[in-house]
Structures are given as structure tokens and as C-alpha cells.
Amino acid sequence: MTKNLRVKSSEYIDETNRISFKFNGKIYHGFKGDTLASALLANDVHLVGRSFKYHRPRGIMTSGSEEPNAIVQINPGTNRTEPNVRATEVEIYEGLEASSQNCWPSVEFDIGGINNFLSPFFPAGFYYKTFMWPASFWEKYEFFIRHSAGLGKSPTSSDPDIYDHRNVHCDVLVVGAGISGIMAAKNAAKNNFKTLLVEEKNELGGSTIFENNEFNKIDNKSPSEWLKKEIEELKSIKNLEIKTRTSVAAYHQYNYLLARENLTDHLEAKDKINKIRQRLLKIRAKKVILATGALERPLIFNNNDRPGIMLSSAVKKYSEFFGVACGSKNIFFTNNDSAYEGALSLFNKGINVEAIIDIREQSESKIVKKVKEAGIKIYWSHSIVDTTGYKRLNSVSIMKLSNDGTSVTGNKISISCDCLGVAGGWTPAVHLYTQSGSKLKFDEEKKVFLPNKNTSEQISIGSCNGDFKLDEIFNNIKKKIKEMLNINITDFDNIKVENDQENSKRNIWLLPSDKTLGKTKPFVDYQNDATAKDIKLALREGFRSIEHVKRYTTTGMGTDQGKLGNMHALGIIADTAGVKMGELGTTTFRPPYTPLTFGTIVGRNVGKFFDIFRRTPMNDWHVENKAEFENVGQWKRAWYYPINGETMHQAVQRESKAARESAGILDASTLGKIDIQGSDASEFLNRVYTNAWSKLAIGKCRYGLMLNEDGMVYDDGVTTRLGENHYIMSTTTGGAANVLGKLEDYLQTEWPELDVYLTSVTDHYATVSLCGPNSKKILKKIIPDLDLSDENFPHMSFKETNIGNIQCRIMRISFTGEHSYEINVQASYGKDLWEKCMQAGNEFNITPYGTETMHLLRAEKGFIIVGQDTDGTMTPIDLQMDWIVSKKKYDFIGKRSLYRSDTMREDRKQLVGLLTDDPNIILEEGAQIVSKLNQNPVEMLGHVTSSYFSPNLNKSIALAVVRGGKDMMGKKLFVPMEDKNINVTVANPVFYDEKNERLNA
């Protein structure tokens, strides 16, 4: 049976509620209120993981989110498993399972531990230097690295939980519910500010709630007693919302903050079902009050990472808050008075404190006197030079520090112990502050970075502002809150505060050892195994910028972002390089402050909501008729309709033949449609298209090409004149939104004098394209009254009519080269119209075809697809479409660019047709084209943009862009592929019906 180190009953631990959980397969017990860390410590388990590089045994070091070592895999092997979770933040529940990470085969015997003995060969930059060369060895290295490294395992089945996002607006957001945050929230809410108080832990009160220093008093009460009363009062305050288990992950500009609210992680599996697990709060706050507290610093000395070595504040919290002794023979190591509070806390509970090792020469504060009176041995001016104990600390060796603190002298004394509380002073938690873009300054005396210049309406109060003493905290809060909230009095104006600490501190960033630095392991970043030695090596190798040293040594690059050791890294760099810390700057603290789950980030946008699809009104018909779909922008378009187990190729060949031989039907609803009205509509079209529009008669259609101002083809489509001042423009499916945006831009900013109004009507209409020699007969069956003769309804014209009671617009236009009609009806009638056409076309074997056949048919005609045959570098001239560029018009978008020396070069890539010498070989789209084989370097002339096997021509056809292609008609070129060279001949891009006879067939 393991030892029970529960030493006192705590009001935060419910000892009537015993909870069993598993750690590394073994069953342990704790109580409601325990974290995984406190419950393990109560069972005398310190060893919880292995370090990243050297696989050194590591124990629980802290009691909060800054924990670098105790990161565990929660519920391994289940669909709720989560890696990289800090044991110090996990609230235990019945059935919880957790396991160590980064160890194989087990945390007790880890094969990677061998790296520790090889560590002279693993200096900073080892991975960069070693695994770069020879390149062919990478696979071997990778195997080794992947097998022995890595933090945790991601789940392999889908997440059963629900996640949520919520927008939150408030007048005042208070981050952190320690004493400062509670005071601020109370005053803000009482003064009618809509206030939100968020706290990452499940209890309010921060560290003051278990404050035991008898020399600190608020209103003549102990701080914890006073604060409990304040917290009680919060419950009755209106305007105040409190969210616990809510951690602010990011603080962006304009007081926009992201916080993760944890709703079910502390519940048993059966209670998690059908509940939102985590919610991302997107908070817009008018004012932000940061009360994020401070993190205790460790001290950097040889072998400072053994299980059992913890922060002194953590030792104190486990004792006072959780009622757990972290060891039975405790030592504290300190450079300030904080450790004395921890020592007294243990002493008062009858737990053995062997000694306090203090690098200062002395301290006269009341609490130090109290410790002396208690008979605890204090070693002044001493430093720890080494520690022993592989899986658990068992002794420390101490020596006297020289006056300048750079060396140790005298005899080495060894003291046995099983827990060491380390107190290196405090670092204000300014992470969120800096994320907001606000700037820090370095306080040379306190050796801390403090908030300096705010970029938004925000204040920092309490220890995150560098105020560590109660009187400082109170005075600054009162002052700052009055200023920010514009109020004259606070609840705390007349409260008397007493405190003790004299705050003397001796700061030595890297403590000396009797061994040379090269023979020691003073860890700065525990999670990434970066030592002071690595940092010094980086400086010797010429790195100067803190950002570079950080990346080279990986200091601060773990999942904890080096919350504990970053200051020491900076200090060591400053000392070594002989510069002031303030001048060095700090590394950037990036969001999230603590890791977020992917679930929280994506919220409800999973499954079918991950990427929203647009579907046409005829979609159900396509689905029922077994269409395969293709994604075009956000649209799901019918791609082809295989029957009787056809392959895509077979289906497309059949559809293409049918459309030319009898009748085909295509769902063209996705084409962009912009309604253009206004007295200057014609002039507007003149300016945006390359061709002329003023003379287009009402009821006629015209194809238009739109350029960018740089002369490159941007979009194309047919526009129809519906009335004197009324047009409907069609755009490409993918370009619809951008074209509208571009046109609006010109209208609003360049040509505000034009009377033109644009409305997107893409979704309002369903469009059926009916094509083929029998399309006319089919349409006639549907609309018997309409005169379909070439005289009354010629190619490129428009009719507005009715099908039964349904109003429709019909354009006789063609993208296939066949006689065809585009019938537009109100979207909700789309499927009905489609079915009518299918029925009427039945006797003509009407064949539905998808986008692939559409592409094939237009390629036979040499019609371009913007975005496939063009790529933003093609002018209309490059496309051999000179005919559509008006020479008469004074100006249109992109016109001037067509006369730039570069766009007029003869050797630009130009669109041509390509025919393979062997008509059965189909070129690959994207394949490169060359004129000579076995050239070195190869001169690439261009590439294939569209390629198909044409069933109507019974040969393969392709479109390509080729440098100088315009003048290469009939020239033999090559398309070199991996396994063969394909011989091709440059041809006219119009492969089929060059004279357009079929349009009127």
C-alpha cells in the first residue's frame, strides 16, 4: 500500500467523497476537490513523466497551468483521450484514467533515458546539426526520433463531445479571480458596469484564499477570512457574471479576447453525455482589467529537475489548500521571504522541515524570525550545488556562496530530503497583457517586466502589475479602478491593511556549482530540456537575438511556452553578453496562454457544418439519379451521371455523344447572375467589358470578357439586355462573388457619377441548359406557343415567357457549340422545370450531363474556362481572342495595360490547340511542353491546360499555353512524361465545327 500524505482536513477537499482513478494502470484514491496532481502527491507519487530530450524522470513541479513536467495523457485509448494535459489542472472524477507521456515502455523504465547518459552529445542545436546530413540517413533518424520522442497521442476515433462558441459583450472584463480581481469586479458591477469575471480554476480567491501569513491583515482579519466574506458578497451583486474553469487563451487588439470555458471535463463519463464540453467565449469588452497574478520562479542550479523538486508556493498550496504534504523530509531553497511561508505552513502541521537554504546573507522580516523561533535550521549565503536521487530526490549538497555570487567555497554539506521547495521570486503574468499589443518595461530593482504602455482601454492590477505586498495591491487597485471607471469612491477606501514582507531579494540567474558548467545540468526549460549550458553555447556560437537563442536552444518552445524559465534564460543571456535585461527585450508570448483543444477552436463547425455547401434546386434529382458530384467553389455540382457501373470516362463519352447527336441537359444554376439596372447601365458595361455594349438591342445577348486593370482576363460570361436600362450579367460559377465585389468597387469609388445598381440574383434563379439538335423540339413541347424559328428567336437572343403558370427567361446561347437554350425560372421551380424537360425529352433520349461533359464539349469548340485555361497571366490577345477587344472604345478596365511593353511581347504564352500524334494518347493537364528533348536545362515552353478524349472527333484533343504559340501552327513539340515522351502538334484550338454551323442546326 502506498503512503498517505494527507495531513489535514481542508475545506476545499470533500473527504466524504472518495474517488478512485487510475494512473499508469494503477488504481489510486483521492477526494472530490483534488486535482490529479494533488491526489498523486497524497499517494506519494511524484514521478509522472519523462523529459522531452533526455528522458529524465520528472515530477510535479507546480500547482497550476504553468506546469512544465506533469503533462499527461487523459483517458488513453478512448475517444475522449487528450494529450498534453497538465495534471495540476485536472480535477479528478470517478473513473478518470491518466498516463505518463514521452516514455517507452514505462515511466519507471524508459529506454530514452539513455539519452541522459549520452547528453554530452546532445547539446543545443543537436538536431539541427546532426540530422541535416547526410540527407539519405534521414529515414533512420526519423524512425529513432519518432519512436522515442513526441508528446502524447492524438485520439484515433472521432470526438464524441459537443463544443460551442458564444459571443459575449460586457462593459468590464476582469481576468483572474484572486484578491485583486474580486475587488475590481465587485466595484465595477456595483457601479453599474456589466461585468464578467473569469477564473481558470474552479474556486475563486487565488492564493489569498489560503493565505496563512499571520503578519498580513486586512481589516484586522486574516486575508483569507476577509476574502471569503468578499466572495460571499459577490453572489448578491447584480450586473456581475462569474465564470470559473474559464481560461483566457488570447487577448487581441480592441479588447477582443478568447476564453475557453470548461463545462464537463471534471464530470464522470456518464455525466458528460449530451452536454457541451467546452465553450469558446469570444469576448468584446469595453474595458479589461487584468488580474492574472504572478508565477513563482524556480532557481537554476545543478540537477534542479528531479522529482520532488517543486516550487515553494506549490508546496504551500498542496499543504494549505489540498491538505497534502509533498514530502516527509522537506527543504526550502530561496532568494526571498516567500519560502518561509511554505516552511511555516508545513511546520504548523507537524511536517518535518529539515532546513531552509537562503542565498541571501540575512533577512530581518517577522516571518523569518518566526521560522528561527520554530527552530528550523537556516543556511544563509548558501547555495545548492547538486542533488541526488534518480526517480525521487533523496539529498541536496550545499556550499557557501562567494560574496559576488559567482562561485562556491568551503565544505560541501549533504542533507537528505525527499522534497525541495524552490523560491526564486515572482514573475508577473504579463502574457495576456503583451498579447494585446501593450508594451512592457523592465524594473531593474524588482527584476521583473511590468506593464508600461497600454494599447487599449485596460489596466493591470495586483501581482501581474508587480504589486506583491498587500498595501501596494490595495493602494494601486483603488487608484486605478477609480481612474478607469471614473468613480470617486471604492468599497475599499477605508480598509486597513498590514503586511510584513520586507521583500529583500538576492537575484542570481544561474547559481554556481563546484563543478564546471559543462559538467552540470542546470535546467532552464524543463519541458524542452534546455539548460543554462545550452544557452551559453548558443551565445558562444554567435546567436545574439533572444528570438534566435530561443529557437536554437528550444527554450520556451514547449507546450508551456517556458512560463517558468523564460526570465532566467533572459537573465543568463544578459549576464553572459554583458547587456541590461531591459535592452534585451523579451520573447513574444503567443496565444493561446494554455493549449486549446481543436474542438474548442472549431466549435459547431464540424461534420456537415465544417464547410458549408451550396446546392442547386435540382440537387435532389441529381442525387436520386446517382450523379457523382464535384466541388466548384462552395457549390456541389453534378459531375457526371454513371449508369450500369460506368467509369467516369465511359459516362462522359456517352453524355458528350448524346448531347451532340440528340439532346443533353445541364444544371447551370450555379453560374453567377448579377442584375444590373440604372440609366447608365450600358455605359457601365462599356467600361467593364472589353467589347462594346451601347448598340446591343433589347432582347439580345452578348458574350463579354472582363479584365483586371493589369490587362489579364478576370471573368467571362453572357450578358443579356432585358430592357432599356436593365441587363442581367452571368459570371463564372467561382467568380460570382468577386465579380460583384469588383464592380461595386468601381461603381462606388471610381465612377460614383454613374446611375447603376447591382444585385446578386444567383440564388434566385434555377437554370436549365438544354442543348443538341433536338433541343428545339423539346422546348417546343414544353412551350408550344413560343415561336422558336431562327427569325423570331435567333442565336444570342432572349425571350421572356411562361411555362404553364411559371414565368421564365430563355436565352438562346450556347457553351457547347450546339443549338441550345438556357431556361431560367424562379429557383423553387427548378426541379419541376428539369423534370418537365426530362419528360419532354424522353423520346429524344435526352441525356443529363455534368460539368465534365460540359468541359469536354466546350474544349471541342476551343472555348476557354477562366481559371482553367487562364491563370491571371493571360491577356485576351494571349488567348487569341483579339476579336473581343474593342479598338474603338476610349477606355475600359485593363485597356491601357494591353499596350504595355510586357503585354505586347511576341513571345508571351499563348493559347493553342494541341493534338497528339497518337490520337489515343490523352495528355495530362498541367504537363509541360518542350521543343527539344534531352536539353539541359530544359526550356519549358508552356503547359497543357485542358485535355480530353473527344468522342465526337474520335481522338484526343488538348488546349495549351505555349510561348509564342500563335506562330507555331503545325509545329511538332513534345510533352515529356515520367515514362515516355509524347509527340504533339500545335493546332487550331477550335477542333469541332469551326464554322459554327451547328448553332443553327
- Binding residues for other proteins (CB under 8 A): 252-256, 284, 437, 455, 709-710, 741, 744-745, 748-750, 752, 890-891, 895-897, 899-901
What residue type is assigned to position 644 of the chain? N
Report whether 473 contacts 464 (CB < 8 A).
no
Report whether 510 contacts 522 (CB < 8 A).
yes
Q: For residues 373 and 891, which CB has a smaller minimum distance to other proteins in the complex? A: 891
Report whether 727 contacts 676 (CB < 8 A).
yes
Q: For residues 84 and 903, which CB has a smaller minimum distance to other proteins in the complex? A: 903
- Minimum Å distance from CB 252 to other proteins? 5
Q: How far apart are CA 131 and CA 128, in angstroms?
A: 6
- Minimum Å distance from CB 746 to other proteins? 8
For 58-67, letters b (16+ CB in 10 Å) and e give bbbbbbbbbb
Q: For residues 255 and 330, which CB has a smaller minimum distance to other proteins in the complex? A: 255
- Minimum Å distance from CB 692 to other proteins? 16
- Minimum Å distance from CB 285 to other proteins? 11
- Minimum Å distance from CB 900 to other proteins? 5
Residues constituting the chain: 1001
Q: For residues 610 and 899, which CB has a smaller minimum distance to other proteins in the complex? A: 899
- Minimum Å distance from CB 730 to other proteins? 20
Cell of 677: 439596372
Torsion angle, alpha carbons of 107, 333, 44, 52, to 10: -10
Q: How far apart are CA 791 and CA 814, in angstroms?
A: 17
> Other CB atoms closer than 10 Å to residue 800's CB: what's the count?
11
Coil, helix or strand at residue 892: coil
DSSP state string for 766-796: EEEEEESTTHHHHHHHH-TTS--STTTS-TT
Name residue, grid cell 542533488: 387
Nearest in space to 529 (alpha carbons), one of 148, 256, 922: 148
Q: For residues 533 and 895, which CB has a smaller minimum distance to other proteins in the complex? A: 895
Name residue, grid cell 521560522: 371
3-state secondary structure 643-665: CCCCCHHHHHHHHHHHHHHCCEE
Q: For residues 764 and 900, which CB has a smaller minimum distance to other proteins in the complex? A: 900
- Minimum Å distance from CB 750 to other proteins? 5
- Minimum Å distance from CB 874 to other proteins? 17
- Minimum Å distance from CB 291 to other proteins? 23
Positive/negative CA dihedral, 327, 333, 335, 340:
positive
The kind and range of the H/E element at 189 are helix 179-190
Q: How far apart are CA 715 and CA 736, in angstroms?
A: 9
State the maximum Cα–Cα separation within the chain, in Å, rounded to a whole number. 115
Q: How far apart are CA 471 and CA 501, in angstroms?
A: 11
Q: How far apart are CA 729 and CA 717, in angstroms?
A: 7
Are β-strands 330-334 and 353-358 bridged in parallel, bridged antiparallel, or unpaired? parallel
Q: For residues 661 and 675, which CB has a smaller minimum distance to other proteins in the complex? A: 675
Q: Is 612 exposed, middle or buried (0-12, 13-18, 19+ CB in 10 A)?
A: exposed
Q: For residues 831 and 908, which CB has a smaller minimum distance to other proteins in the complex? A: 908
Q: For residues 745 and 787, which CB has a smaller minimum distance to other proteins in the complex? A: 745
Q: For residues 95 and 741, which CB has a smaller minimum distance to other proteins in the complex? A: 741
Q: For residues 541 and 745, which CB has a smaller minimum distance to other proteins in the complex? A: 745
Phi, psi values for residue 433, rounded to 5°: -55, -50
Q: For residues 581 and 736, which CB has a smaller minimum distance to other proteins in the complex? A: 736
Q: For residues 744 and 755, which CB has a smaller minimum distance to other proteins in the complex? A: 744
Q: For residues 159 and 675, which CB has a smaller minimum distance to other proteins in the complex? A: 675
Report whether 501 contacts 334 (CB < 8 A).
no
Please enumerate in sequence order all residues whose Cβ is within 8 A of that of 884, keeping only pairs 6 or more positions apart, or say none.
Answer: 690, 691, 703, 704, 705, 876
Q: For residues 156 and 749, which CB has a smaller minimum distance to other proteins in the complex? A: 749
- Minimum Å distance from CB 46 to other proteins? 43
CA distances for 321 relative to 7, 13, 286, angstroms: 11, 8, 35
- Minimum Å distance from CB 883 to other proteins? 21
Report whether 817 contacts 996 (CB < 8 A).
yes
- Minimum Å distance from CB 966 to other proteins? 23
- Minimum Å distance from CB 216 to other proteins? 40
Cell of 10: 481542508
- Minimum Å distance from CB 437 to other proteins? 7
**Can you state the percent helix, strand and coil of the chain, rounding each to 5?**
25, 30, 45
Query: Ramachandran region of residue 949, left (φ > 0), alpha (ψ -120 to 50) or beta?
Result: beta
- Minimum Å distance from CB 901 to other proteins? 6
Q: How far apart are CA 909 and CA 130, in angstroms?
A: 45
- Residue 311's beta-bridge partner residues? 422
Q: How far apart are CA 781 and CA 720, in angstroms?
A: 25
Q: For residues 394 and 452, which CB has a smaller minimum distance to other proteins in the complex? A: 452
Name residue, grid cell 533572444: 546
CA atoms within 13 A on the CB side of 429: 22
Q: For residues 255 and 851, which CB has a smaller minimum distance to other proteins in the complex? A: 255
Q: For residues 891 and 997, which CB has a smaller minimum distance to other proteins in the complex? A: 891
- Minimum Å distance from CB 752 to other proteins? 6
- Minimum Å distance from CB 255 to other proteins? 8
- Minimum Å distance from CB 903 to other proteins? 10
CA distances for 739 relative to 705, 765, 869, angstroms: 12, 18, 18
